[in-house]
Amino acid sequence: MSKSKETLMGSQVTSHVEDEALVERRRAQIVTAATELFAKKGFYRTTVKEIAKLAGVSPGLVYLYVREKEDVLLLVLLQVVEGYAAEIPKAIEGIDDPLLRLMKTVDAYCRVVDRLSAATVLAYRSTKSLSVERREIIQDRELETNEIVAEAIKGCMDAGLISRVNVDVLIYQLVLAAHGWALKSWYLRSRVSLDDYVAGCLENLLTGVMSDKGKGLFENTLQNLKEYTETEGADDV
Amino acid sequence: MSKSKETLMGSQVTSHVEDEALVERRRAQIVTAATELFAKKGFYRTTVKEIAKLAGVSPGLVYLYVREKEDVLLLVLLQVVEGYAAEIPKAIEGIDDPLLRLMKTVDAYCRVVDRLSAATVLAYRSTKSLSVERREIIQDRELETNEIVAEAIKGCMDAGLISRVNVDVLIYQLVLAAHGWALKSWYLRSRVSLDDYVAGCLENLLTGVMSDKGKGLFENTLQNLKEYTETEGADDV
Amino acid sequence: MSKSKETLMGSQVTSHVEDEALVERRRAQIVTAATELFAKKGFYRTTVKEIAKLAGVSPGLVYLYVREKEDVLLLVLLQVVEGYAAEIPKAIEGIDDPLLRLMKTVDAYCRVVDRLSAATVLAYRSTKSLSVERREIIQDRELETNEIVAEAIKGCMDAGLISRVNVDVLIYQLVLAAHGWALKSWYLRSRVSLDDYVAGCLENLLTGVMSDKGKGLFENTLQNLKEYTETEGADDV
Amino acid sequence: MSKSKETLMGSQVTSHVEDEALVERRRAQIVTAATELFAKKGFYRTTVKEIAKLAGVSPGLVYLYVREKEDVLLLVLLQVVEGYAAEIPKAIEGIDDPLLRLMKTVDAYCRVVDRLSAATVLAYRSTKSLSVERREIIQDRELETNEIVAEAIKGCMDAGLISRVNVDVLIYQLVLAAHGWALKSWYLRSRVSLDDYVAGCLENLLTGVMSDKGKGLFENTLQNLKEYTETEGADDV
DNA sequence: AATGAATGAGAATTCATTCAT
DNA sequence: GATGAATGAATTCTCATTCAT
């Protein structure tokens, strides 16, 4: 996790250009344009020419930084999953209370998904468009994110706040809750706010698995989460 | 729900051929072939020629039963969502106990998803490849399925088994649980059995929302579900 | 040698079209156009679009009868070498005198080369542009032609007309003499007639290898060849 | 023949660089790299970038010493034909016996061809890839080489060793014999040694054209040639 | 109704050449 | 003089769709 996002990206895709800083800059240009277009029209309906045009470069230039079109998709998807892997840890930094930490993890996950909504849907649509090797790169990154969720759950279990549970199932229920905000936004967004969605998911999923000890803390901690988030939100402004 | 599946399909896609029975037969041929190919290689990587070949017809024939390639995708996805909408009601037919009914709904949903796994993933990948109007047709059908889940939840609430809850959120958590079995099968399938997955999802999601009255019944009903399913499974043989 | 030229060609290159007669007709169209263009501008400077245009078909059609552009080159070169392999035997049919037979072989070879002059040069330019497997197909055909020359030489040796000789070297001297008429036509054509070229080559190459017995016949037979050719030429008119 | 090879090359292709010595050095670098690549992959399959890389320079630099890619081909082919024109005279220097001189000419020609085998084939493939003016430059050089052969033949005729003959035809038969060693090396090399090939060609081609006087000397002189060559070979060590 | 040959627009990719540094 | 990033025209090949038979 010590490598920067760019370096990670660079390690997967080869470029004909030497200057690493330039490679990062150009790739960022390309990825930004491609993300927008892929999200709007999908990978196959987007042409390299369109990407180049939106990125303000020539079509030929794209191929100086990428071997084939599919590499652009890989870079785009890497940015998404690495967005997850980067933002969530930042959000839970310094939080010691295991339950709040878990809640905050889910909360942060839902918020990144909200921010990268189109890209998240894109990831679901397009991961299978990648070659097997590239697909595995993405799945590996997704597992890293899951690991963060798993750690948060384990923290609660160690603290005796969560009792019995099939951890694998719970992880994916939480992950899917987060992803679901993007996947089903066409239905949810008009019916429930993100705040209520997060709270609802947490209540439904966590209440059931809490130990008696945990139950006592649940409502309170959920309240903390809300305040916490509001404060942070205010900071942004 | 009075119209047959075929008639529904027919109503969305126009054909140059008069004989309705023939239309149904040909479309079934085409859709079966297309589903297999789309699931394996995706919509864009599959050619009309390939579909025709696998269906044992000529490429030209496809266009007698469909206006464009995207219509084939629509028919394929319709079959998936209508698979959901048909099988779940069948599974809960005659069950009166509201909690068992809800559990059985989720259980049946997960099992259809398991059976149509590739097609379910396909639906996630490809719905956005449809034109807006076609996409809405699919989403409407998905809503019908959700309605079944919603009814089952409402049944429990009316019976006082479920207390407070954001129903929209709970619906989608249950739906995503079912879909998740296909979407994350690459991770889950090697770690947990379908039976355990269903049980786990139900425990995690429902325990939390049960009223005190409901809680008392939960374990028992879950046990009933398991027996129920086993018996049915045996019947099939 | 029982298969027709077209069948031979068909056996090397696969087509998406079933109807064999159609395949032959279309390929002939394509090859005729391609030969003209390749001869004029070379393989790489000729585009598939140009070939299609000259052949009076669409660019897409070309790919119904050929897998890639290089296949067109293969078909073109096959036609050249099979032109050799077909015309020479026809020219020596029914000739029993071994020496006349050898002379007539060389004479016929030079005349095909003269007729397919541009294509012969093309073969020299472009054989190395083929993939190894395709190149070998062409070389195999060339060996078949050489075999005809070899047989004619052997006939003379068996009849005691030619004495000592490294047959491999002599074969290629005769073959190169024929090819040379096309390869160096830029120089030769303005300085010597084809008839004189053939006679000159034969004199220079054969006199040296004749046995005493052969020498006695040489001038006479060469005279025969000239008359023979003239008569035939007259027949054509 | 007073101008140096470099100057000749320089006179055909313009450069943006002033310093003549530098021009020669850079061009030599480029031509060496290009020859290797053209011989291996052909002119069109070789990119300027590849040439530059193998030459250890930047792609941009190539264009300081050459106006376009085709100029590189011209320089490469010039080097080949000038290789012929330079080595053959060196080999016959000081030989007075006209017949030995002729034999030695052919022998030397075959040996340059053997040494520049790939480049000779390249010349056959690629001369037509040149623009007409450039092609004529190469053909002019080839004529110069032919002139050497012609002189040697004429020497024999003047000495009464060769009788009647169409000189133009004989020249090209000898030239093609030499070139043939490279052109048909795929067949010949495994069947006959270069020494035997040269001897065979000379026997076949010259015996036939010898006068009675010449015939008497032939075998002896051929023997001389072999010894001569062996000695020279030994000298090299 | 069915066929499958034909079309041609359009996509990815390459590479000779230029030019700012 | 040298570099190498950038350009964009040009090329091969694909495939949805049509239509004569």
- D95 φ, ψ to 5°? -90, 125
Contact D134, D117 (CB under 8 A): no
Chain A and chain B touch, per 3+ beta carbon pairs within 8 A: yes
For residues D91 and D47, state if they share a domain. Answer: no
Chain centroid offset of residue C68 CA: 25
pTM (2 d.p.): 0.89
Distance C90 CA to F10 C1' (A): 45
Q: What's at A183, amino acid-wise? A: L
Query: Given this model, what pLDDT does residue A233 score?
Result: 53
Query: Given this model, what pLDDT does residue D167 score?
Result: 85
A124: its two tokens: 């679901």
Distance in angstroms (rounded) separating the CA atoms of residues B4 and B10: 10
For residues C14 and C63, state if they share a domain. Answer: yes
For residues A13 and A105, state if they share a domain. Answer: no
CA dihedral B30, B33, B39, B41 (to 10 degrees): -100
What CATH number has the domain bearing residue D58? 1.10.10.60
For residues B34 and B147, state if they share a domain. Answer: no
For residues B66 and B93, state if they share a domain. Answer: no
Find, in chain B, the residue whose alpha carbon is nearest to that of A195.
B169
Query: Residues, chain B, total?
Result: 237
What CATH number has the domain bearing residue C115? 1.10.357.10
Query: Residues, chain A, total?
Result: 237
Instruction: Kindly state the percentage of chain A with pLDDT values over 90.
Output: 74
For residues D150 and D225, state if they share a domain. Answer: yes
Instruction: Kindly state the percentage of chain B with pLDDT values over 70.
Output: 92
Query: Residues, chain D, total?
Result: 237
Contact B217, B161 (CB under 8 A): yes
Q: Nearest-5° angle of CA A52, CA A58, CA A62?
A: 60
User: Does any strand E atom come closer than 7 Å to the Cβ of C58?
Assistant: yes
Q: Work out the number of other CB atoms within 10 angstroms of the CB of residue B69.
A: 16
Write the pLDDT tens digit of every residue in B75-108: 999 999 998 899 999 999 999 999 999 999 999 9
A137's enclosing H/E stretch is: helix A132-158
Among B47, B72, B97, identify where a domain stops: B72
**Mean pLDDT within A54-61:** 98
Distance in angstroms (rounded) separating the CA atoms of residues C108 and C88: 6
Per-residue pLDDT of chain C (237 residues; tens, 9 = 90+): 333 344 445 557 889 998 999 999 999 999 999 999 999 999 999 999 999 999 999 999 999 999 999 999 999 999 999 999 999 999 999 999 999 999 999 999 999 999 999 999 999 999 999 999 999 999 999 999 999 999 999 999 999 999 867 888 999 999 999 999 999 998 899 999 999 999 999 998 998 788 888 888 988 898 988 887 766 655 544
User: Does any strand E atom come closer than 7 Å to the Cβ of B17?
Assistant: yes
| CB of A208 less than 8 A from some CB of B | yes
Distance A78 CA to E15 C1' (A): 30
Smallest Cα–C1' distance to nucleotide E9: which residue has it? C60
Residues of C in contact with D129 (CB under 8 A): 42, 44-45, 125
Distance in angstroms (rounded) separating the CA atoms of residues D151 and D92: 12
**What 3-state class would DSSP assign to A213?**
helix
Rg (CA), chain C: 20
Query: Given this model, what pLDDT does residue D232 score?
Result: 63
Mean pLDDT, chain D, as a whole number? 89
Query: Given this model, what pLDDT does residue A216 score?
Result: 83
Among C26, C57, C72, identify where a domain stops: C72
For residue A216, the cross-strand partners are: none
For residues C100 and C200, state if they share a domain. Answer: yes
Residues of A in contact with B129 (CB under 8 A): 42, 44-45, 125
- SS3 assignment for chain D: CCCCHHHHHHHHCCCCCCCHHHHHHHHHHHHHHHHHHHHHHCCCCCCHHHHHHHHCCCHHHHCCCCCCHHHHHHHHHHHHHHHHHHHHHHHHCCCCCHHHHHHHHHHHHHHHHHHCHHHHHHHHHHHHHCCHHHHHHHHHHHHHHHHHHHHHHHHHHHCCCECCCCHHHHHHHHHHHHHHHHHCHHHHCCCCCHHHHHHHHHHHHHHCCECHHHHHHHHHHHHHHHHHHHHHHHHHC
- A236 φ, ψ to 5°? -60, -30
Distance in angstroms (rounded) separating the CA atoms of residues C48 and C33: 10
Q: Work out the number of other CB atoms within 10 angstroms of the CB of residue D218.
A: 18
For residues B114 and B226, state if they share a domain. Answer: yes
Q: What's at D48, amino acid-wise? A: V
Residues of B in contact with A201 (CB under 8 A): 169, 173
**Mean pLDDT within A141-157:** 93
For residues B64 and B106, state if they share a domain. Answer: no
Contact D65, D27 (CB under 8 A): yes
Q: What's at A61, amino acid-wise? A: L
Write the pLDDT tens digit of every residue in D200-220: 999 989 987 888 888 888 888
Contact D8, D82 (CB under 8 A): yes
CA dihedral D182, D188, D193, D196 (to 10 degrees): -90
pLDDT at D226 over 90: no
Among A31, A47, A70, identify where a domain stops: A70
Reported confidence tier of residue A12, pLDDT bands at 50, 70, 90:
confident
Phi-psi region of C17 (alpha: psi -120 to 50; beta: other; left: phi over 0): beta
Smallest Cα–C1' distance to nucleotide F1: which residue has it? D17
Closest CA to D153 of D165, D144, D142, D143: D165
pLDDT at D150 over 50: yes
Structural domain boundaries, residue D22: 5-69
User: Does any strand E atom come closer than 7 Å to the Cβ of D63?
Assistant: yes
Q: Would you give the end-to-end CA distance of chain A in angstroms?
A: 30
pLDDT at B47 over 60: yes
pLDDT at A3 over 80: no
Say how many CA atoms lie within 13 Å of B116 toward its Cβ: 27
Provide the number of structural domains found in chain B.
Answer: 2
Distance in angstroms (rounded) separating the CA atoms of residues B121 and A125: 9
For residues A163 and A231, state if they share a domain. Answer: yes
Q: Which residue has the higher pLDDT, A43 or B3?
A: A43
For residues C140 and C31, state if they share a domain. Answer: no
Query: Given this model, what pLDDT does residue B233 score?
Result: 53
Say how many CA atoms lie within 13 Å of C61 toward its Cβ: 17
For residues D154 and D83, state if they share a domain. Answer: yes
